[in-house]
Structure formats: C-alpha cells, structure tokens
Amino acid sequence: MKISEIFSSIQGESSLAGLPFTFVRLAGCNLRCRYCDTSYAWEGGVDLSLETVLEEVRKRGIPRVCVTGGEPLLQEETPLLVDRLLDEGYLVTLETNGSLPISPIRGECRRVVDVKTPGSGEGDSFLMENLKDLTERDEVKFVITGREDYEFAREFVETHLSRFRGEILYSPAHGIVEPRLLAQWLVEEKARGRLNLQIHKYIFPEESRGV
C-alpha cells in the first residue's frame, strides 16, 4: 500500500471528535480541492505491506483507527485493510471524498463521506450511486466555503438525504468561513446536522502533519 503517514492523535472531526485514534493516511488523490490541507498526500508515499501497516497500528495500542487520505478508496487493498482491522476488533472509520464507490467497504466501518460543494472546485465529483449504500452508521460531510456552499448543502440534504438517518456534518473551511457564521446559519434555519469543527486545527495550530 502507498502510505503517506501513520500516527496517533485526537480525532478532530465527525461525531467521534475528541477521541484518541490511530490514523492511516493513504497517499494519492483524484481530486484537487481548493482548500486541501493534506496536499502533501496527493503523491508519493511509502510502499508498505498490509501486514506492516497492521503491525504499525497494533504497536500504537489504540482501539480506534481512521483510514484516510488523500483518497483511500483509490487503493485496491483498502477494503482488505478495513476488513482486517474490523476482524481484529478495532472501531474503524474511513474518510472518503465521495467520488468513488463506498460499497467495497464493509458496513461495520463508519464511512465519513464528503459531498464536495461548488466552492471546493470539485463540485460535480460526488458519485450519486453512493446514496443507496449509506447506512445510519455513516456520516455525510459538507465543507462550507461560503453561503453558496451552505445553500447547496441544504438543498442536497433536502433532496437526497431525507431518508438518511446518520449524522450530517457541516464543516466550515478553516480560515475561509468563520465558524460562528456557519453556526448562526444552522441555528437560524433549524438545520438537520451539526457544526463540524476541525478541532485538531485549534489544538495544534502550528502543525500540518501528524495531528
């Protein structure tokens, strides 16, 4: 597998924010979002066998693992990595940009699926067939860069996620939208879904990797 980094930190996002996790960041991404904060993972990475990755995770001794990227679904072995982690009893989450099928990833894994907004520059990338594979364990995330994105997200939720029972995450693009502004919109409109702050960016403001 092409691995960008393996590290342990506080989960910064999703309904599990604040919990200690080990992160396996896979290298490579098929999108180029304007606000990307992990562009170092777009290319390169170190070749590690699946067994080596599992051993690195075990060594850290944390019972929760986040498989992320880049875009982890680009790599053929990712479903197998998730299977092995689940079989070993880890709580496993997978963060994906939503442009590739999530169906190869077992439903016991909590899949955090982005729907890219127009402000990302990758607004048409969401794979609509993923909607039918979402379960209540999954989370759908919108990164909001401004009012236009918020309205896009609101309409997407109303139109396509009326039956979805999992979490909906509205994440202010860090340094682009004030969290308090997005919070205000969510309250004013009694939105379904929660404000999703990337808390690691407040806890570790100087660090761009390994947090």
* C-beta separation of 86 from 104 below 8 A: no
Pick between residue 62 and residue 100 the one whose CB is nearest to ligand SF4: 100
Number of chain residues interacting with ligand SF4 (CB under 6 A): 10
Is 14 a binding residue for ligand SF4 by CB under 6 A? The answer is no
Residue of 12, 45, 69, 119 that binds ligand SF4 (CB under 6 A)? 69
Pick between residue 54 and residue 152 the one whose CB is nearest to ligand SF4: 152
Cα(59)–Cα(56) distance, rounded to whole angstroms? 5
Is 166 a binding residue for ligand SF4 by CB under 6 A? The answer is no
Cα(101)–Cα(131) distance, rounded to whole angstroms? 10
Question: What track of x and - describes contact with ligand SF4 for positions 91 through 110 (by CB under 6 A)?
Answer: ------x-------------
CA 35 and chain centroid, separation: 14
Cα(129)–Cα(193) distance, rounded to whole angstroms? 22
**Residue 149 DSSP code:** H
From the list 13-21, 24-32, 44-52, 194-202, the region that binds ligand SF4 by CB under 6 A is: 24-32
Give 7's contacts (C-beta < 8 A, 6+ positions apart): 22, 23, 25, 209, 210, 211
Place of tokens 């390169």: 44
Nearest approach, Cβ of residue 170 and ligand SF4 (Å): 16
Residue of 10, 16, 19, 36 that binds ligand SF4 (CB under 6 A)? 36
Nearest approach, Cβ of residue 69 and ligand SF4 (Å): 5
* H helices present in the chain, as ranges: 50-60, 78-87, 147-160, 179-188, 199-203
Nearest approach, Cβ of residue 115 and ligand SF4 (Å): 11
Pick between residue 54 and residue 110 the one whose CB is nearest to ligand SF4: 110
Give 198's contacts (C-beta < 8 A, 6+ positions apart): 12, 13, 171, 174
From the list 18-26, 56-64, 68-76, 178-186, the region that binds ligand SF4 by CB under 6 A is: 68-76
Is 53 a binding residue for ligand SF4 by CB under 6 A? The answer is no
Residues that bind ligand SF4 (CB under 6 A): 29, 31-33, 36, 38, 69-71, 97
